[in-house]
């Protein structure tokens, strides 16, 4: 299957060559992010797309000085909602009613159920739940890039508080959770590019109950 | 792009028709899970693949009685490590050395860095981190299914403690975090199948910093 071939081709690029990724390919990656399924359809995250070189230079020191931060074409930051609020929940439910053109009792009951439970939970619990939804989109972005022959570096190793500060995320009720440099691998400089992909055996990964 | 077409085609099936999904397609979904990137390559999760009908019947009542649990072809349960232990970390680093056929100082230093930090952290923090990695794989499973014209229902709505009990996960140091029924949509019975997909505007999703 073509998708599997592409997932085999991909790896976490440790060096990129600075080449720009075509806008059409970036648009497809954004579309894949947008199409990602999320819990109750809330899409509880935003994505910051950085091409500004000065800003990338500022982010590199708080990301273990990884060269992909500055040598990538587009740096994506996935920032999840810091908590669930009635406003945020209502906005998505209202949008659904608008797009579908009708109100539905079951759907409205479901809205009330979320309104009576999510906002009352601890903000940290809510952020964690929202972050997981961001990871679903993050993963689809990686697949969509690979499918187009574009490299990515899934990247958790950064100071999230410092990044939030640099990007002014907290004021917007957001917290960074994961980054994705997008670009093209530098095969000369990358120590990882020629090493074998390592995965645990299927026996250690999967248990079948027939 | 073909992948985008397939992601547009997919939706969270609310009714499935009981038809079996071909083994080759299931194998591709498992392969996509296996190929998913994870933090430090630890793959801190396992996947339980359930086709046993009796077991599905047991799980349905603790999952809001959703019909897809019993009407799907294969029910996947993603179970993350309950914490990071030295044994689990060492196993993956040793496997890497075996597969690649050499030891590398930088890699060994990185192992020591993880060993001196991860196992000391709170188990809940570690489980949460491991669960996020499981979500990456969960997302790739959804994409790989859609790419083959196979339906899925991303499903967080279940009693995780009860599921852990039914599957005996805690004894294995695992905790369930998300489920994925796989099968074929029942277009007659599914209220969602003909409704428009709703996504927030690109303006609300993406901020570009050029």
pLDDT tens-digit profile, chain A (210 residues): 999 999 999 999 999 999 999 999 999 999 999 999 999 999 999 999 999 999 999 999 999 999 999 999 999 999 999 999 999 999 999 999 999 999 999 999 999 999 999 999 999 999 999 999 999 999 999 999 999 999 999 999 999 999 999 999 999 999 999 999 999 999 999 999 999 999 999 999 999 999
Does B188 reach chain A within 8 Å, measured CB to CB?
Answer: no
Across the beta sheet with B206-209, what order do the strands follow? A151-152, A174-183, A74-81, A45-50, B206-209
Look up the CATH number of domain B2-84+121-205: 3.40.109.10
Render pLDDT for A105-142 as a digit per residue (tens, 0 to 9).
999 999 999 999 999 999 999 999 999 999 999 999 99
Alpha-carbon span A91 to A71, nearest angstrom: 37
Q: What are B98's two structure tokens?
A: 């075996």
Which chain A residue shows the shortest CA-CA distance from B38? A154
Alpha-carbon span B1 to B146, nearest angstrom: 14
Render pLDDT for B61-86 as a digit per residue (tens, 0 to 9).
999 999 999 999 999 999 999 999 99
Span B92-114, average pLDDT: 96
The answer to whether the Cβ–Cβ distance between A143 and B142 falls below 8 Å is no
State residue A59's pLDDT score.
98
Average pLDDT, chain B: 97
In this prediction, residue B110 has a pLDDT band, given cuts at 50, 70 and 90, of very high
Alpha-carbon span B110 to B205, nearest angstrom: 35
Q: Which residues of chain B neighbour A127 with C-beta distances below 8 Å?
A: none
In this prediction, residue B90 has a pLDDT band, given cuts at 50, 70 and 90, of very high
Render pLDDT for B122-174 as a digit per residue (tens, 0 to 9).
999 999 999 999 999 999 999 999 999 999 999 999 999 999 999 999 999 99
Alpha-carbon span A9 to A11, nearest angstrom: 7
Alpha-carbon span B64 to B6, nearest angstrom: 28
Alpha-carbon span B185 to B9, nearest angstrom: 12
Q: Which of B4, B131, B142 sits opposite A37 (nearest CB)?
A: B142
- Contacts A–B by Cβ distance under 8 A: 179
State residue A108's pLDDT score.
97
- Interface with B, mutate which of A36, A48, A97, A132 (most B CBs under 10 A): A132
Looking at chain B, the domain(s) classified CATH 3.40.109.10 span 2-84+121-205
- Interface with B, mutate which of A33, A45, A200 (most B CBs under 10 A): A200
Q: Which residues of chain A neighbour B39 with C-beta distances below 8 Å?
A: 154, 156
Which chain A residue shows the shortest CA-CA distance from B5? A32
Query: What is the DSSP secondary structure assignment for residue B189, as one 8-state letter?
Result: T
The answer to whether the Cβ–Cβ distance between A142 and B37 falls below 8 Å is yes
State residue B201's pLDDT score.
98
Compute the nearest-CA separation of B47 from chain A (Å): 5
Q: Which residues of chain A neighbour B51 with C-beta distances below 8 Å?
A: 208-210
The interface predicted TM-score (ipTM) is 0.98
Give Cα A148 distance to the centre of its chain.
17
State residue A181's pLDDT score.
98
Average pLDDT, chain A: 97
Does A199 reach chain B within 8 Å, measured CB to CB?
Answer: yes
Pick left, alpha or beta for residue B15 (phi over 0 → left; psi -120 to 50 → alpha; otherwise beta): beta
Compute the nearest-CA separation of A48 from chain B (Å): 5
Q: Which of A1, A2, A136 sits opposite B135 (nearest CB)?
A: A136
State residue B184's pLDDT score.
98
Alpha-carbon span A74 to A141, nearest angstrom: 12
State residue B25's pLDDT score.
98
Which chain A residue shows the shortest CA-CA distance from B31? A4
State residue A197's pLDDT score.
96
Which chain B residue shows the shortest CA-CA distance from A92? B200
Pick left, alpha or beta for residue B205 (phi over 0 → left; psi -120 to 50 → alpha; otherwise beta): alpha
Residue with tokens 């590199």: A60
Spell out the SS3 assignment of A79-141: EEECCCCHHHHHHHHHHHHHHHCCCCHHHHHHHHHHHCCCCCCCHHHHHHHHHHHHHHHHHHH
Q: Which residues of chain B neighbour A144 with C-beta distances below 8 Å?
A: 1, 3-4
């Amino acid at each position: 299957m073509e998708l599997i071939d592409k997932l085999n081709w991909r790896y976490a690029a440790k060096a990129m060559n600075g080449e720009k990724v075509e806008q059409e390919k970036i648009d497809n990656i954004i579309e894949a992010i947008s199409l990602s399924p999320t819990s109750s359809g809330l899409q509880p995250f935003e994505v910051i797309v950085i091409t500004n070189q000065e800003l990338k230079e500022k982010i590199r020191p708080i990301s273990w000085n990884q060269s992909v931060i500055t040598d990538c074409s587009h740096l994506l930051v996935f920032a999840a909602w810091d908590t669930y609020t009635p406003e945020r929940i209502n906005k998505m439910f209202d949008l659904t009613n608008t797009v579908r053109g009708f109100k539905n009792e079951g759907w409205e009951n479901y809205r009330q159920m979320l309104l009576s439970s999510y906002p009352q939970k601890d903000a940290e619990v809510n952020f964690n739940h929202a972050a997981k939804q961001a990871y679903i989109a993050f993963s689809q972005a990686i697949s969509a890039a690979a499918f187009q022959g574009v490299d990515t570096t899934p990247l958790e190793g950064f100071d999230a508080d410092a990044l939030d500060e640099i990007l002014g995320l907290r004021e917007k009720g957001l917290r960074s959770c994961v980054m994705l440099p997008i670009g093209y691998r530098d095969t000369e400089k990358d120590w990882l590019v020629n090493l074998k992909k390592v995965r645990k055996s299927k026996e250690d990964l999967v248990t079948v109950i027939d």
